[in-house]
Structure 1
Amino acid sequence: MTRASTPPTLLLQLQGADSLSSQATALRSLKNETIGHDQRKEAWIRWGILPILAKVLASRQSNRKNAEFNGAVKGSESLSSHNSNPEDEACLQAMIILGSLAQGGVAFLSPIFSSNILPTFLSILSSQDCPPSFVLPILRTFNNIADRLPLQSEQQWPKDTRLADLLFSEEHIGCLSRILGQQYGTHQAQASIELTAALIGKLCTEESHKAVLADSGVLDALAVKVSSFIVAQGFVLPGAEAHVQEPGALGSLPAPAPLSAQLAPILRAITVIIEHSKWRAEHFLSSPGIVTVFPKQHPEFSPADIKKGPWGSTYLSGSAVPRHAGASPLEHLLPSVPLAQGKTAAGTTNFPPLGQPHGPQRRHSHSFPSPFSILESPTTDDDENSIVPWLLYTIRAENGMVRLMAARLVTVLFRLGLTKKHRVSMLCYLLIPILIRMLDKDYEIPGNDSSQYGGLISATDRLREEAPAVLATLVLDDQELQKHAVDGGAIKRLSQLLKETYNPIQENARPMWHVDGKEEAENPDPESTGCILGAPGYSPTHCQVMRYRENILKALAALVPFKDEYRKAMCENGVVPYIIDSLKPCSGDALDTSNPKNTAADGNPTPTLLAACGAARMLTRSVSVLRTSLIDAGVATPLFALIRHPDIEVQIAATSVICNLALDFSPMKEAIISAEILPILCEHAHSANTKLRIESLWALKHVAYNSTNDVKMKIINGLGPAWIQQIITQDPTSALAKRGMDDELESGTPGAMSRANSAGEQVNLLNPVEDPPERDEDMKMADTLPPSKMSLEMFLPDVTRRRKLALHGDLDQSTQARQDDVAVQEQTFDLLRNLVCGPGASEMIDHLFKEIGQDLILDALADKLRPRTIQLTHRRESTTHKALQVPTEILVAVTFVIIHLAASLPWHRQLLVSHRDLLRHLMGYFNHAHRDVRTNCVWVVINLTYEDDSSDREGCRERAFKLRTIGVMERLSSLEDDPDLDVRERTKTAQHLVNTLTQA
């Protein structure tokens, strides 16, 4: 039985309602008719119900604004929730209907977004007179939409951030802080807090959104919610009550969270905000909620050890011993674990370094986009916040999503270097077994509550889906953790799970049915996009499988970057064909998404492609795997397609794999050249995206090595001589001078370099974290308030913390931009190095001199070695000059080019010696801190003075005398006792050559 193709009487009643009461009655009837009936929802969309709902909601907002303008809306009336008027009742029914429509799936999202109804929702939620009864329906609607956002794929479904852009805009983000800042007083308040936190966890993926959430007070409000759980569990540190009135604290302990409150969505929201940013993580750890329950522990001494000086000052006796060394009492709740072995070496591998041998490598083993720090400076034992042992205790005591989210948060803090050094042992013996256990098929969550995910998939499936991603983040670039995970059987389990993600999906859902295959309702307004359904998306189960596959690929890639035996174990478990299948994107054709086959032919969404590229890149690090398993599985074909993918992140990921395929030992190098990939790489080298430029240049560098001269000339012509000229002549420190900062500058140097940060404040970039000695009252933490007077302002970061957060964000962006500029130039010089070495090197040097310019190339090399200073203006109007160090990466790359020029024909050597500045500037780097720079300087001397044949003997003597004249022997003498053996041995050779030629 089908519905009539003409609009029903109910629609006419809505359109012709003569009163708010009759409108509310009609909407209530419509709600009862549509809830749970997808076919009816589709029909009502086509009949134009969304514009009607939008009109109902907009009418209320318009009336409220008019009433507010006329002074008719007063406090008690506007906030009344018990005596709702017909207008509010109509709006409430419209909200519930829209939430029900959003549950229809991906096809319903397009008309919902087009109807412009969501901004109206947010305007109502953000208004001061929003009735409490509106809050939950609006939040549930937003969560329904967030749950059903389609997976990003090539053409049909680009990455959709429209809802996140609305929610996290400056106009509306305040309502999120207000909701999260309320007390756990009622069931409605508790539900709204958890729905808001869940919404942040689902939508917050962009760095800009994370920064706004931290700066607007949302992160601090979430921290207070965590502290309320800590209070409820009784884990407040002893003596914390004595510190609640100190600056930066709440003023009193927060009220305990009720037993029914859910911690998992709070931890998830915090994690997604702070991940990838150490500054946001420190902002969270220093928030008032955390500081109140976990004040910093100071060593305590016995009163007998505290002595009083003659002028009233106190001091400690010589035999004073602290009662405790500042360690958190929560440590005693954790089990003792064996200390991990010292950090293992980089590990033996038959994969050569990606670049010059022993050169400075900035590439980590990241197999998927992950800007986590690599534990360069883990916090000291005294600086670790007590939330870390509390999270570890929670992991042991809880289960389900709370356990997983606690594991995810502590993993992020560990990756950002905010945990103790010895935490590696505890993570090895405590966390890794739990994560591996979550991969088991029989792992079940007690209760299996799926309410936080819209009931689309079970909580157990969601947990299994996310556990591999946490494991991947945890073991990233840490061989001790990788070893424990592999020993625990992680590779075998993950390999089996990856295969199972290609099993056919059993769906209970049935496609929409229409009479005679036609639509059951005619669209009354063909011009209205709010009445047209979008493309049908994949089912929730299929989306969950795709995310599961993505996380499994991430975990496999994170386990095997260093050990060839781990990579071989992956191959032995038979996953290589499945990784290759995961490199195939979704077809551009409209597929039958109602009943997907889930085969390789169906393809994969963009996030899965990125993860598969990461796994393939890790496997290509093994020579044996590259020459056997990957070739047999046909890895080149999908990669050559992905390098042309419309998504630039996929292009970057595919190019990073091709970098390894283009190495000289790879049998696929010729395939890359013959498949006309070089023009694409050259085109991508000109991209505005710096990452794509770097990866493309890196791949071209590998292709150029030991290739024939015709291939090298193709690369030069593809890049363009003018472009190469532009890159090599850029000053690597010019951007640094403009930004007014450098790693070598002393942090305390008082300078006049200042600029506005993202908060619009003028800050001193040379001393970014220094606070002025005297601060105005409005820059201090507000006076603490008793619990009854806590307000939203308590959760807004004080000006000092906001300024520090914004400043560090700006510094991170500037530092990253500087590193990208340096990396592009480094790879370009490395490319030139590979162009002028190997067979036919002299012909290529002549070709480069002809195309780019002989003088220009030599001047560019000399300019990179030129000493630089920056002028600093002090507060007393005095000026000084500070030396700027040329980036080591540039020095190594440039000196390698000089080495190869010095190893070429005699007249090429003569050009180097006769240049007015090049060798003179080189003399300043013989005692450089980096061993590669010192070694390369000595190699230049060796190549300039090495006699290839008797015809060049006189030229060698002239060059030796020139080198001695500019002081090379003194530089070589200073390296005789160099700590590096290779430098010492090369120095002996250079001294012998120069002495032999000049004393003959």
Structure 2
Amino acid sequence: MNSLKHNQAVDELNSSDPAVRVKALRFIKNNIIGNRTKKDLYIQLNVIPKLVKFLKSKDTADSQVQIQAAIVLGSFAYGGEENVTEIAKHGAIKPLLECISLQNDPRLIEAAARALKAIYKCPTADKNDIFADHHLRDLIALLNPDSLHPKTERERIASVHTAELAATIIARCCDTNEQQIQIANAGAFPALVNLLTCGFSKAQEAALDALAYLCRENPEFGKAIVETKSETSDSPVKIMLNLIQDKSSTMRLIAAKCLTHLSRANAIGEYSNDITLIVLPTLVKLLDEKGPVREEAPHVLAYLIRDNEELQKAACDSDAVPKLADFVTHVVDQESSYYDPVGDGDKLKENALMALAAISSLTDDGRKLVVEAKIIPHIVAAMSHRSYGIRAAACQCTRSLSRSINILRTSLVDAGVATPLFKLLSDDSTDVQATACATLCNLVLDFSPMKKTIMELGGIEKLVELVRSPDNTLRLNAIWALKNLVYQAESDVKETVMKVLTYQTMETLISDQESVEVQEQALNLLRNLACTKPIDIEEVFKGLSENKLMSIIENKLCWWNENEEIIKQVLYVINNIASGYERHKTAIMNRPTTILTRILKYMGHDNPEIRVIAVWVLINLLWTEDKSASSQVRVQKLRDLGFEDKVKSMTNDENLDVRERVKTVLNQFSQV
């Protein structure tokens, strides 16, 4: 490459003549657009600091220098993550944000906004600067095309385009709840809702996208958006339901996405029929499109129907499964593209697998359709794909399918899912490991024919290794899998697990400092270890010691208003111990103030499930196979503590299960 003219162009940027600098900037711009090699060359020639210097200049005599500098920076930003890192390193973001102030030339504002849009396309770009000083206020102001005071039709179109850029930047800067709050407080909702009615499709799409991300997983903001009226007094939801019928497939997709996010935020319950009859069918039809629309449609569909049995059934009825299955089996893998660690074909396959996982997560009908589509071998093969997203999505699919005992025992076994799934426990991606671990939870239950295979492959040792991970999700899923592995298991399996895990590690997990969910599952593991046979309870007493076991129970019983799931699990632990030998019952009876009186208190809890478990504890403490003196003393002690009077007051409990258990207890008291 003849670099002489490029060196000369960089040198000319030092000229005192603005016309020479503008000419050099235009030369550089024309050379680097769409040319990665030229971009690398100019970066090596250290052109970025010069561009930043132009943006910082207070000399506004000729704004063309700043405009062209912003355009060139934007072009560099479209060159990849490394380029964005280089731009940020030289401090370009703050000067670009200064350029979007309304006091500047509208052409400079547009050029700077375009550059910022390119920078924030990069997922690793630091977004903190946009929330500092007045920058967010300036950005929100640009959402109103009239803020640039356009006088001609051409200027009007340019100002709408700038509003589109501003909305796109906002959509890329609300990753966290705190960012959502700051953007909302700056007045984004009215400005974005008004932009929905501007009549320019690209700006409307950008506004929809921004609104979608602002209300994602945020019920408060979902409701606030729904209640925001446009300047034409139209309801935002009605505007979106109109836009979802647009001739543009991109518009239909983004409108569907925004309505999906509002639905998931529980903000549009009164529009549930529209979600079922308009939004869902629109997303299924968009699977027939090409390019980015077809790629994203399964992702939105998966999010819409997740955890919703009714919508999953509707998706089954709309023939979504054959279309999604076709993507999994026939889409050709493609090389990676800019800012996408996988190719377009890979992303489509990943999204299709996630949609299939969602469709089959709650309904047997969905699982049956996936099996009938004959794609289980393809799902298993996807576990070895080069894309970590596809590997994780394949795990998620398997997890949904494994909820059917029949499929678990037939199709998944026939496809040989156990070995490739086990390998993913050692995947380079923590996300894949966590999803594989979650999937394994169903495969290690006692009725699963793959439980033995997983154990023979070293599953216990691997899960214990993952239990010590610093990643909360991975640690949670690993302890969950171990809990399932010992559920209704033979004593020798429990012993094998605890030899590797150790009671000390389980005790640490019960008091996990990072995750209450880990504590809950560790208690559930303890519950399962102390279940089925008195000999299993005895092993727990030996493994922890009676004092330590009772201390754990006493500590967790204090969580009255903190976490009901913890309370349930610790009561189940007590219940299992109470079903053991006399010495196990005595261990509980010896702690009247720290354990028994708290159980009595939980018999009056608001949650009926907690009341039921507490009464079951009493049933097991009262249970006796003989009329020995020790059992009579135990019954009298419980009577003296007020248990009989409490149970008598529960005979008209609103919960049927509680009432039935209460009858049992009163009968037991009457016999002694």
User: TM-score category by the smaller chain?
Assistant: 0.7 to 0.9
Alignment of structure 1 residues 429-444 onto 2, 5 Å: 429-440=277-288, 443=289
Residue 860 (structure 1) aligns with: 552
**Rounded Cα–Cα distance in structure 2 between residues aligned with 1:941 and 1:927:** 13
Match for residue 914 of structure 1 among 564, 572, 590: 590
CA-to-aligned-CA distance 1:199-225 (integer Å, 9 cap, x gap): 333564344433332233334432332
Report if aligned partners of 2:460, 2:497 keep a CA contact under 8 Å in 1: yes
Distance 1:916 1:180, change over 3 A: same
Local SS of the residue matching 2:23: helix
1:489 deviation in Å? Answer: 0.9
Contact 2:337 2:343 in 1 (8 A): no
Which residue, 482, 491, 495 being the options, matches 2:312?
482
State the one-letter code of the partner of 1:964: R
How far apart, in 2, do the equivalents of 1:487 and 1:673 lie? 39
- Partners of 1:190 and 1:261 within 8 A in 2: no
Aligned counterpart in structure 2 of residue 197 of structure 1, from 158, 167, 175: 167
* Residue 251 (structure 2) aligned to one of 390, 402, 410: 402
Structure-2 residue corresponding to 1:581 = 381
> Deviation at 1:291?
6.8
Cα 1:136–1:709 shift into 2, 3 Å: same
| Deviation by residue 1:69-100 (Cα, 9 ceiling, x = unmatched) | xxxxxxxxx5xxxxx62xx4344334333434
Q: Matches of residues 659-738 of structure 1 in structure 2 within 5 Å?
A: 659-709=441-491, 711-713=493-495, 715-716=497-498, 721-722=503-504, 724-725=506-507, 728=510
1:58 aligns with 2:53: yes
Distance 1:542 1:136 in 2: 31
Judged with a 3 Å threshold, the aligned counterparts in structure 2 of structure 1 residues 217 and 543 are, in CA distance, closer, same or farther, namely: farther
Mapping of residues 527-538 of structure 1, within 5 Å: none
Q: Give the letter for the 2:365 counterpart.
A: E
Equivalent residue number for residue 173 of structure 1 = 136
- The alignment's TM-score, normalised by the length of structure 2, stands at 0.87
The whole-number CA distance in structure 1 between the counterparts of 2:573 and 2:409 is: 31
- Return the offset for 1:901: 0.9
- Give 2:526's aligned residue: 832
Q: Give the aligned partner of residue 264 of structure 2.
A: 415
Does residue 629 in structure 1 map to residue 306 in structure 2? no
State how far apart, in whole Å, the 1-side matches of 2:133 and 2:430 are.
29
In 1, Cα distance between the equivalents of 2:260 and 2:456? 45
> Cα offset for 1:905?
1.7
Q: Pick from 438, 459, 478 the counterpart of residue 656 of structure 1.
A: 438
Give the one of 87, 103, 113 matched to 1:139: 113
| Within-5 A mapping of 1:541-556 | 543-556=343-356
Contact 1:683/1:718, CA 8 A, preserved across alignment: no
2-structure distance, mates of 1:908, 1:140: 71
Q: Spell out, residue by residue over 1:802-825, the C-alpha distance to the aligned partner (whole angstroms, 9 max, x if none).
A: xxxxxxxxxxxxxxx9xx52x333
Aligned with 1:183 (options 134, 143, 146)? 146
Q: What's the secondary structure of 1:649's corresponding residue?
A: helix
Q: Which residue of 1 aligns with 2:153?
A: none
Could you tell me which amino acid in structure 1 is paired with residue 24 of structure 2? A
Give the match for residue 892 of structure 1. 568
1:117, distance to aligned residue in structure 2 (A): 5.5
Corresponding residue for residue 642 of structure 2:
967
User: For 1:499-518, what aligned pairs fall within 5 Å after superposition?
Assistant: 499-501=329-331, 503=332, 505=334
Amino acid at match of 2:523: F
Alpha-carbon displacement from aligned partner over 1:307-349 (angstroms, at most 9, x marks no partner) = xxxxxxxxxxxxxxxxxxxxxxx8xxxxxxxxxxxxxxxxxxx
Distance 1:708 1:627 in 2: 20
1:684 and 1:693 in contact (8 A); partners too: yes
Q: What's the offset of the Cα at 1:835?
A: 0.9
For residue 55 of structure 1, give the secondary structure of its aligned residue in structure 2. helix
Q: Say whether the 8 Å CA contact 1:865–1:886 is kept in structure 2.
A: no
The equivalent residue for 1:924 is 601
Flag structure 2 segments of 5+ consecutive residues without an equivalent.
151-155
**Greater per-residue helix proportion:** 2
- The number of equivalent residue pairs is 662
Among 23, 44, 63, the alignment partner of 1:25 is 23
Task: Work out the CA distance in 2 between the residues paired with 1:865 and 1:23.
Answer: 74
Gaps of 5+ in 1: 68-77, 79-83, 150-159, 230-256, 295-329, 331-385, 444-459, 508-535, 585-599, 736-816, 869-883
Q: Distance between the aligned counterparts of 1:637 and 1:172, measured in 2?
A: 53
Where does residue 4 of structure 2 map in the other structure? Answer: 8
Measured at CA, do residues 405 and 111 of structure 1 come closer, stay the same or move farther in structure 2, by a change above 3 Å?
closer
CA contact (8 A) 1:95 1:137 kept: yes
Compared CA separation, residues 729 and 471, structure 1 to 2 (3 A): closer
1:221 aligned residue: 191
Q: Partner amino acid for 1:697?
A: I
Q: 2:216 aligned with 1:275, yes or no?
A: yes
Q: RMSD over aligned Cα, in angstroms?
A: 3.4
Aligned to 1:945: 622
Distance 1:657 1:396, change over 3 A: same
Once residues 8 and 172 of structure 1 are traced to their aligned partners in structure 2, the CA distance between those partners, rounded to angstroms, is 40
| C-alpha distance in 2 between matches for 1:113 and 1:680 | 43
**1:8 positional shift:** 1.3
Seen in structure 2, the aligned counterparts of structure 1 residues 973 and 604 have a Cα distance that, compared at 3 Å, is same
Distance 1:837 1:540 in 2: 49
Cα pair 1:553 1:611 within 8 Å, conserved: yes
**What's the offset of the Cα at 1:267?**
0.6
**When the two structures are superposed, what TM-score results if normalisation uses the length of structure 1?**
0.60
- Which residue pairs with 1:99 in the alignment? 74
Contact 1:179–1:196 (8 Å) recurs in 2: yes
SS of the aligned residue for 2:143 comes to helix
Output the CA distance in 2 between the equivalents of 1:387 and 1:32. 42
Alignment partners' CA distance in 2, 1:59 and 1:481: 55
Deviations 1:401-428 (A, max 9, x none): 222222222222222222244x323332
Work out the CA distance in 2 between the residues paired with 1:394 and 1:200.
Answer: 21
Opposite residue 483 of structure 1, the aligned amino acid is K
Report if the CA contact (8 A) 1:180-1:196 is conserved: yes
**Match for 2:548: what amino acid?**
L
- When structure 1 is superposed on structure 2, of 650-659 and 164-173 the one drifting more is 164-173
Asked whether the 8 Å contact 1:204–1:273 carries over to 2, the reply is: yes
Q: Is this contact kept in 2: 1:701–1:827, CA < 8 A?
A: yes
**CA 1:703/1:963 → structure 2, altered by over 3 Å: closer, same or farther?**
same
Map Cα deviations across residues 689-716 of structure 1 (whole Å, 9 max, x no partner).
4433432322221112234545535554
Residues 196 and 850 (structure 1 numbering): CA distance in 2 closer, same or farther, change over 3 Å?
same
SS in 2 for 1:162: coil
- Matched with 1:994 is 669
Output the amino acid matched with 1:655. Answer: C
Bigger shift: residues 674-683 or 431-440:
674-683
Distance 1:571 1:678, change over 3 A: same
Contact 1:15 1:52 in 2 (8 A): no
The structure 2 residue matched to 1:425, chosen from 252, 255, 273, is 273
Asked whether the 8 Å contact 1:583–1:604 carries over to 2, the reply is no
The answer on whether the counterparts of 1:57 and 1:91 sit within 8 Å (CA) in structure 2 is no
Which whole-Å deviations, capped at 9, do the CAs of 1:116-170 have from their partners, x for residues lacking one?
Answer: 25325525425676433223333333444555x4xxxxxxxxxx42254554556
2:92 to 118, 132, 135: 118
For residues 587-608 of structure 1, give each alpha carbon's deviation from its aligned partner in whole angstroms, at most 9, with x where no partner exists: xxxxxxxxxxxxx4xx1144x4
Paired residues of 1:583 and 1:609 also in contact (CA < 8 A): yes
1:389 aligns to what? 238
Q: Deviations over 1:376-424 (max 9, x none)?
A: xxxxxxxxxx332332233245542222222222222222222244x32
For the 8 Å contact 2:100–2:108, the answer to whether it is kept is no
Decide whether the 8 Å contact of 2:52 with 2:90 is kept in 1. Answer: no
CA distance in 1 between partners of 2:491 and 2:87 (Å): 56
